[in-house]
Amino acid sequence: MKLSTYNSGNIEEIKQLFTQTFSDSEGQSEGLLIGNLAYELMISTDSYDLYGFVAIESEQVIGSIIFSRLVFESEVNAFLLGPVAIHTSFQGKGIGQKLINFGLNTLKENEVELAFTYGDPDFYAKVGFSPLVEKVVKAPLKLTYPEGWLGQSLLNDEIEPITGHSYCVEALNKPEYW
Ligand SMILES: CC(C)(COP(=O)(O)OP(=O)(O)OC[C@H]1O[C@@H](n2cnc3c(N)ncnc32)[C@H](O)[C@@H]1OP(=O)(O)O)[C@@H](O)C(=O)NCCC(=O)NCCS
Protein backbone atom coordinates (compact mmCIF):
# COMPACT_ATOMS: atom_id res chain seq x y z
CA MET A 1 0.00 0.00 0.00
CA LYS A 2 1.24 3.48 -0.91
CA LEU A 3 0.23 6.74 0.76
CA SER A 4 0.50 10.00 -1.16
CA THR A 5 -0.94 13.41 -1.89
CA TYR A 6 -3.84 13.19 -4.35
CA ASN A 7 -3.58 14.61 -7.85
CA SER A 8 -6.16 15.84 -10.33
CA GLY A 9 -6.12 12.46 -12.11
CA ASN A 10 -7.56 10.87 -8.92
CA ILE A 11 -10.59 13.17 -8.53
CA GLU A 12 -13.26 10.96 -10.14
CA GLU A 13 -11.95 7.84 -8.39
CA ILE A 14 -11.93 9.64 -5.03
CA LYS A 15 -15.51 10.83 -5.55
CA GLN A 16 -16.48 7.24 -6.35
CA LEU A 17 -14.69 5.93 -3.24
CA PHE A 18 -16.57 8.32 -0.92
CA THR A 19 -19.90 7.60 -2.62
CA GLN A 20 -19.45 3.82 -2.37
CA THR A 21 -18.01 3.72 1.16
CA PHE A 22 -20.69 5.95 2.71
CA SER A 23 -23.44 4.17 0.72
CA ASP A 24 -22.21 0.90 2.26
CA SER A 25 -22.09 2.26 5.82
CA GLU A 26 -24.94 4.78 5.90
CA GLY A 27 -27.13 4.30 2.83
CA GLN A 28 -27.22 5.60 -0.71
CA SER A 29 -28.35 9.18 -0.02
CA GLU A 30 -25.51 9.72 2.48
CA GLY A 31 -23.15 8.15 -0.09
CA LEU A 32 -24.21 10.62 -2.77
CA LEU A 33 -24.02 13.54 -0.34
CA ILE A 34 -20.47 12.75 0.82
CA GLY A 35 -19.28 11.82 -2.69
CA ASN A 36 -20.46 15.22 -3.88
CA LEU A 37 -18.88 16.96 -0.90
CA ALA A 38 -15.49 15.38 -1.67
CA TYR A 39 -15.82 16.34 -5.34
CA GLU A 40 -16.85 19.94 -4.58
CA LEU A 41 -14.00 20.33 -2.10
CA MET A 42 -11.48 19.20 -4.71
CA ILE A 43 -12.79 21.24 -7.63
CA SER A 44 -13.86 24.46 -5.90
CA THR A 45 -11.20 25.00 -3.23
CA ASP A 46 -8.04 27.02 -3.83
CA SER A 47 -5.05 24.65 -3.63
CA TYR A 48 -3.59 26.82 -0.85
CA ASP A 49 -6.64 25.90 1.26
CA LEU A 50 -6.74 22.14 0.59
CA TYR A 51 -4.72 19.00 1.28
CA GLY A 52 -5.98 15.66 -0.05
CA PHE A 53 -4.36 12.28 0.51
CA VAL A 54 -4.91 8.80 -0.90
CA ALA A 55 -4.02 5.22 -0.02
CA ILE A 56 -3.30 3.21 -3.18
CA GLU A 57 -3.32 -0.58 -3.47
CA SER A 58 -2.83 -2.34 -6.83
CA GLU A 59 -3.18 1.04 -8.55
CA GLN A 60 -6.66 1.59 -7.02
CA VAL A 61 -7.60 4.35 -4.59
CA ILE A 62 -8.72 2.40 -1.48
CA GLY A 63 -8.70 5.30 0.98
CA SER A 64 -8.87 9.06 0.96
CA ILE A 65 -8.90 11.97 3.40
CA ILE A 66 -9.38 15.67 2.74
CA PHE A 67 -8.27 18.62 4.88
CA SER A 68 -9.55 22.14 4.14
CA ARG A 69 -8.64 25.46 5.69
CA LEU A 70 -10.45 26.80 8.74
CA VAL A 71 -10.04 30.56 9.08
CA PHE A 72 -10.29 32.41 12.40
CA GLU A 73 -10.52 36.10 13.16
CA SER A 74 -7.12 35.74 14.86
CA GLU A 75 -4.18 34.61 12.74
CA VAL A 76 -3.79 30.86 13.11
CA ASN A 77 -2.86 28.24 10.53
CA ALA A 78 -5.62 25.64 10.91
CA PHE A 79 -7.19 22.86 8.83
CA LEU A 80 -10.29 20.75 9.21
CA LEU A 81 -10.18 17.02 8.42
CA GLY A 82 -13.15 15.56 6.57
CA PRO A 83 -14.46 13.60 4.89
CA VAL A 84 -12.50 10.38 5.54
CA ALA A 85 -13.14 7.01 3.88
CA ILE A 86 -11.45 3.65 3.65
CA HIS A 87 -13.03 1.28 1.12
CA THR A 88 -15.35 -1.14 2.92
CA SER A 89 -13.31 -4.25 2.14
CA PHE A 90 -10.10 -2.62 3.46
CA GLN A 91 -11.48 -1.34 6.79
CA GLY A 92 -10.18 -2.45 10.18
CA LYS A 93 -6.60 -3.03 8.96
CA GLY A 94 -5.07 0.17 10.31
CA ILE A 95 -5.13 1.99 6.96
CA GLY A 96 -7.36 4.84 8.18
CA GLN A 97 -5.01 5.63 11.06
CA LYS A 98 -1.90 5.39 8.83
CA LEU A 99 -3.41 7.69 6.21
CA ILE A 100 -4.53 10.29 8.79
CA ASN A 101 -1.09 10.25 10.49
CA PHE A 102 0.53 10.66 7.08
CA GLY A 103 -1.71 13.66 6.38
CA LEU A 104 -1.10 15.23 9.80
CA ASN A 105 2.67 14.88 9.35
CA THR A 106 2.46 16.62 5.97
CA LEU A 107 0.46 19.45 7.54
CA LYS A 108 3.10 19.77 10.30
CA GLU A 109 5.86 19.99 7.68
CA ASN A 110 3.88 22.83 6.12
CA GLU A 111 3.65 24.71 9.41
CA VAL A 112 -0.01 24.05 10.08
CA GLU A 113 -0.58 24.63 13.80
CA LEU A 114 -4.00 23.17 14.51
CA ALA A 115 -6.12 20.35 13.10
CA PHE A 116 -9.85 19.95 13.72
CA THR A 117 -12.39 17.34 12.75
CA TYR A 118 -16.04 16.44 13.30
CA GLY A 119 -16.78 12.76 13.79
CA ASP A 120 -16.55 9.74 16.05
CA PRO A 121 -14.48 10.71 19.15
CA ASP A 122 -13.35 7.09 19.79
CA PHE A 123 -11.94 6.61 16.31
CA TYR A 124 -10.29 10.05 16.07
CA ALA A 125 -8.75 9.72 19.57
CA LYS A 126 -6.52 7.01 18.02
CA VAL A 127 -4.90 9.69 15.83
CA GLY A 128 -4.49 12.38 18.48
CA PHE A 129 -7.79 14.29 18.45
CA SER A 130 -9.55 15.28 21.69
CA PRO A 131 -13.03 16.64 22.32
CA LEU A 132 -13.41 20.42 22.19
CA VAL A 133 -16.06 22.66 23.60
CA GLU A 134 -17.17 25.64 21.57
CA LYS A 135 -16.22 27.99 24.40
CA VAL A 136 -12.61 27.09 23.51
CA VAL A 137 -12.91 26.95 19.71
CA LYS A 138 -16.07 27.77 17.77
CA ALA A 139 -17.17 25.45 14.97
CA PRO A 140 -17.97 27.22 11.68
CA LEU A 141 -21.64 26.11 11.59
CA LYS A 142 -24.18 24.93 14.17
CA LEU A 143 -23.31 21.38 15.26
CA THR A 144 -26.04 18.74 15.42
CA TYR A 145 -23.64 16.47 17.34
CA PRO A 146 -21.42 18.69 19.57
CA GLU A 147 -19.61 15.65 21.04
CA GLY A 148 -18.07 15.14 17.59
CA TRP A 149 -16.21 18.49 17.57
CA LEU A 150 -12.54 17.53 18.00
CA GLY A 151 -9.11 19.08 17.66
CA GLN A 152 -5.37 18.74 18.24
CA SER A 153 -2.36 20.98 18.26
CA LEU A 154 0.35 19.98 15.78
CA LEU A 155 2.90 21.89 17.86
CA ASN A 156 2.49 19.42 20.74
CA ASP A 157 0.77 22.03 22.90
CA GLU A 158 -2.66 22.14 24.40
CA ILE A 159 -5.22 23.95 22.26
CA GLU A 160 -5.47 27.49 23.64
CA PRO A 161 -8.88 29.17 23.48
CA ILE A 162 -9.43 31.04 20.20
CA THR A 163 -11.75 34.02 20.37
CA GLY A 164 -14.23 34.82 17.63
CA HIS A 165 -15.84 32.88 14.82
CA SER A 166 -14.35 30.29 12.49
CA TYR A 167 -15.04 30.03 8.76
CA CYS A 168 -14.82 26.88 6.64
CA VAL A 169 -14.33 26.72 2.86
CA GLU A 170 -17.39 27.21 0.63
CA ALA A 171 -17.92 23.50 -0.20
CA LEU A 172 -18.41 22.71 3.52
CA ASN A 173 -20.48 25.78 4.27
CA LYS A 174 -23.84 23.92 4.29
CA PRO A 175 -25.83 22.95 7.41
CA GLU A 176 -26.35 19.35 6.20
CA TYR A 177 -22.66 18.55 6.74
CA TRP A 178 -22.74 19.71 10.36
C1 LIG B 1 -13.95 5.13 9.96
C2 LIG B 1 -12.88 4.62 8.99
C3 LIG B 1 -12.30 5.77 8.20
C4 LIG B 1 -11.78 3.94 9.79
O5 LIG B 1 -10.75 3.48 8.92
P6 LIG B 1 -10.16 2.01 9.13
O7 LIG B 1 -9.00 1.84 8.23
O8 LIG B 1 -11.27 1.04 9.02
O9 LIG B 1 -9.69 2.13 10.66
P10 LIG B 1 -8.36 1.53 11.31
O11 LIG B 1 -8.22 0.11 10.89
O12 LIG B 1 -7.20 2.45 11.08
O13 LIG B 1 -8.73 1.66 12.82
C14 LIG B 1 -9.61 0.75 13.35
C15 LIG B 1 -9.99 1.20 14.69
O16 LIG B 1 -10.93 2.25 14.62
C17 LIG B 1 -12.19 1.83 15.14
N18 LIG B 1 -13.18 2.18 14.15
C19 LIG B 1 -13.21 1.84 12.86
N20 LIG B 1 -14.30 2.37 12.28
C21 LIG B 1 -14.95 3.05 13.23
C22 LIG B 1 -16.15 3.80 13.26
N23 LIG B 1 -16.93 3.97 12.16
N24 LIG B 1 -16.50 4.36 14.42
C25 LIG B 1 -15.74 4.19 15.52
N26 LIG B 1 -14.62 3.50 15.56
C27 LIG B 1 -14.23 2.93 14.42
C28 LIG B 1 -12.14 0.33 15.31
O29 LIG B 1 -12.82 -0.01 16.47
C30 LIG B 1 -10.68 0.06 15.40
O31 LIG B 1 -10.26 0.08 16.73
P32 LIG B 1 -9.44 -1.15 17.34
O33 LIG B 1 -8.23 -1.31 16.46
O34 LIG B 1 -9.13 -0.72 18.72
O35 LIG B 1 -10.40 -2.28 17.23
C36 LIG B 1 -13.46 3.57 7.99
O37 LIG B 1 -13.92 2.48 8.72
C38 LIG B 1 -14.55 4.12 7.10
O39 LIG B 1 -14.26 4.65 6.03
N40 LIG B 1 -15.83 3.97 7.51
C41 LIG B 1 -16.98 4.41 6.73
C42 LIG B 1 -17.03 5.90 6.54
C43 LIG B 1 -16.85 6.67 7.83
O44 LIG B 1 -17.48 6.37 8.83
N45 LIG B 1 -15.96 7.70 7.79
C46 LIG B 1 -15.59 8.48 8.95
C47 LIG B 1 -16.65 9.39 9.42
S48 LIG B 1 -16.26 10.01 11.04
Q: How far is the CA of 91 from the centre of ligand 1 (A)?
A: 7
Any atom of ligand 1 within 6 Å of the Cβ of 55: no
For residue 111, the domain's CATH number is 3.40.630.30
Q: What is the mean pLDDT of residues 143-163?
A: 94
Q: 10 lies in which domain range?
A: 2-177
The dihedrals phi and psi of 132, each to the nearest 5 degrees, come to -125, 145
pTM, full prediction: 0.95
Any atom of ligand 1 within 6 Å of the Cβ of 174: no
Total domains in the fold of the chain? 1
- Closest CA relative to residue 145, chosen from 129, 132, 159, 136: 132
Any atom of ligand 1 within 6 Å of the Cβ of 27: no
Summarize pLDDT for 25-34 with one digit per residue, the tens: 999 999 999 9
Q: How far is the CA of 21 from the centre of ligand 1 (A)?
A: 12
